[in-house]
Structure 1
Amino acid sequence: MPSPCDPQHAPVGEVGVALMMIDSRLKGIHDGKTETDAQQQLLIRQFAQSLGPDGANDVLDGTCTLIYMFMSWLRKVHEQHEKDVIEYVVPNLVATMRMMPKSCPTEVIPIMAGLVTAAGLGLSPNLWRGQYGDWTDEEMTPLEATAFLLAEHINRIADDPDFATRMITEALASAEED
């Protein structure tokens, strides 16, 4: 019986914009910037405001699509080694988020863990989350942090600081060709 959280029923959203935001954060960290500079924060805020509510929802859906794609890749890699992706990814994600109390308040960490678990099980993260009501403002930064942490985890596994971004870019290019 098909699940109402099946990814085929989920909106893809603005994956390119979400990827741009995550890639910007990854590059900032690798360039030694531990905090986003004020100018970059202003540009991101202005960009988000220019999208309007529908555009912001599209970026949110795009971020969930990234999480799904990242977890799909991680699931395949873990299965090749006969390991469970949820067992190896979710506890590390939760532990890292607990060390980021300003970005990831304790009360939203279970939601992000559930989101990643849903994606690890092949379910749509945004449809899974939608079962519990509308997204809250408190969940937006942790959602971005979740996508960022998964991308960084993939980059470490691949021993390539641009692997996660390149993987998504290639998948988007391939989808456009089809």
Structure 2
Amino acid sequence: MPSPCDPANAPVGDVGAALMVIDSRLKSVYQGRTEAGPEHRQLLDQFAATLGPDGFDALLDGACTLIYMYMSWLRAACESHDEDAVEFVVPTLINTMRMMPRTFRPEVIPTMAGLLIAAGTGLSPNLWRAQYGDWTEAEMNPLEATVVLLAEQINRMAGGDQEFATRLIAEALAGADED
């Protein structure tokens, strides 16, 4: 019986915009900045202002699509070594989340873990989350940070290539455009 959280039923959202936000955040992290600088914050605020309500929903769906794509890549990488992606990735990311209490308040960690587990088991993270109502304001920064943590994990697995996770998605998007 098909799941109501099947990725085939999920909106893809604006993956390009979500990737731009995540790539920008990753570059800040790699440059040693944990807080967004005033220029970065202003750029993101201007970008968010251009989205409107439908654009913001598309950005959220795009972030969830990134989680799904990253977890799919991690699942394939782990399976090639007879490991389980959920077992390999989720505990590490949850421990990291716990060390970041300003970004991940304790009450949002189960939701972020649920998104990772849903994607790691082949379900759509945004459809899984939709079962529990609308997104909350308290989940916005943790959602972004969860995608950044996943991308950073992939970059480390790729030998420290700081652009690997971004290229992975950009190449998938380019391939989808060709089809």
Question: Normalising to structure 2: TM-score of the pair?
Answer: 0.98
Q: How does 1:131-150 map to 2 (within 5 A)?
A: 131-150=131-150
Quote the Cα distance in structure 1 between the aligned partners of 2:54 and 2:104: 25
Over the residues paired in the alignment, what is the CA RMSD in angstroms? 0.7
Residue 34 of structure 1: how far off its partner (Å): 2.2
Residue 54 of structure 1: how far off its partner (Å): 0.5
Runs (4+) off by over 6 Å: none
Residue 104 of structure 1: how far off its partner (Å): 1.0
Letter matched to residue 111 of structure 1: T
Aligned length: 178
Residue 108 of structure 1 corresponds to 108
Letter matched to residue 100 of structure 2: M
Residue 32 of structure 1: how far off its partner (Å): 2.0
Quote the Cα distance in structure 1 between the aligned partners of 2:75 and 2:114: 16
Q: How does 1:8-19 map to 2 (within 5 A)?
A: 8-19=8-19
Letter matched to residue 47 of structure 1: F
Q: Deviations over 1:32-79 (max 9, x none)?
A: 222210121122012112211100000000000000000000000000
Quote the Cα distance in structure 2 between the aligned partners of 1:121 and 1:166: 24
Residue 162 of structure 2 corresponds to 161
Residue 173 of structure 1 corresponds to 174
Q: Which runs of 5+ in 1 are unaligned?
A: none
Give the match's secondary structure for 2:91.
Answer: helix
Question: Normalising to structure 1: TM-score of the pair?
Answer: 0.98
Quote the Cα distance in structure 1 between the aligned partners of 2:45 and 2:27: 19
Residue 31 of structure 2 corresponds to 31
Give the match's secondary structure for 1:25.
Answer: helix
